[in-house]
Amino acid sequence: MAYKNFILVCGGTACESSHSEEIYRNLIKEAEALGVSHDVQVVKTGCFGFCEKGPIVKVLPSESFYVEVKPEDAHEIIAEQVVKGREVTRLLYRKDKKSDTAKLEDIEFYQKQFRIVCVTAASSTRKASTSTLHATATRRSRKPSSR
């Protein structure tokens, strides 16, 4: 099965304390309710490192980076992003209220980081999915500067 979208939900401690587990479950429920569970895989991840803006939800392949997500936002994320292919602009990260939205690599906090994704897949279906995630993460990563 080839998914069209991957929704990464931060499962780190800070985001979990702000209900990311409920966000994760709601996203899966909404995908089933709206009949698109075959189009999207919801994945729990480790900490994105941006805990102050959590819970964090990232959507691939659009690279939509949602911050301060609430469990009740799950319906809108599935209905807009997965069903209609549109970002939920009110949830996108902004440096301040006046600035444009930013993708993860545009956020100053991440610009000097080199992110590594380690994947261990159990089944061939899962291998295909995680390979896609790994390729995306690798493509977006920057090499550390040598000092």
Return the residue of 4, 13, 121, 126 that touches ligand FES, per CB under 6 A. Answer: 13
Query: Half-sphere exposure of 131 toward its Cβ, with a 13 Å CA cutoff?
Result: 8
Cβ–Cβ < 8 Å for 65, 88: no
d(CA 98, CA 54): 20
Nearest of 67, 63, 70 to residue 92 by alpha carbon: 67
Q: Which one of the spans 1-9, 41-49, 93-101, 115-123 is the region binding ligand FES (CB under 6 A)?
A: 41-49
Task: Indicate whether 10 belongs to the interface with ligand FES (CB under 6 A).
Answer: yes
Task: Indicate whether 7 belongs to the interface with ligand FES (CB under 6 A).
Answer: no
Where would I find the beta strands (DSSP E) of 67-123?
A: none
Task: Indicate whether 56 belongs to the interface with ligand FES (CB under 6 A).
Answer: yes
Tokens of residue 97, six digits: 């209220």
* Alpha helices, DSSP H, located in the chain: 13-17, 20-33, 74-76, 124-140
Task: Indicate whether 69 belongs to the interface with ligand FES (CB under 6 A).
Answer: no
Q: Which one of the spans 6-14, 35-43, 70-78, 130-138 is the region binding ligand FES (CB under 6 A)?
A: 6-14
Task: Indicate whether 66 belongs to the interface with ligand FES (CB under 6 A).
Answer: no
Q: CB of 104: closest distance to ligand FES in angstroms? A: 11
Residues forming contacts to ligand FES in the complex (CB under 6 A) are 10, 12-15, 47-51, 54, 56
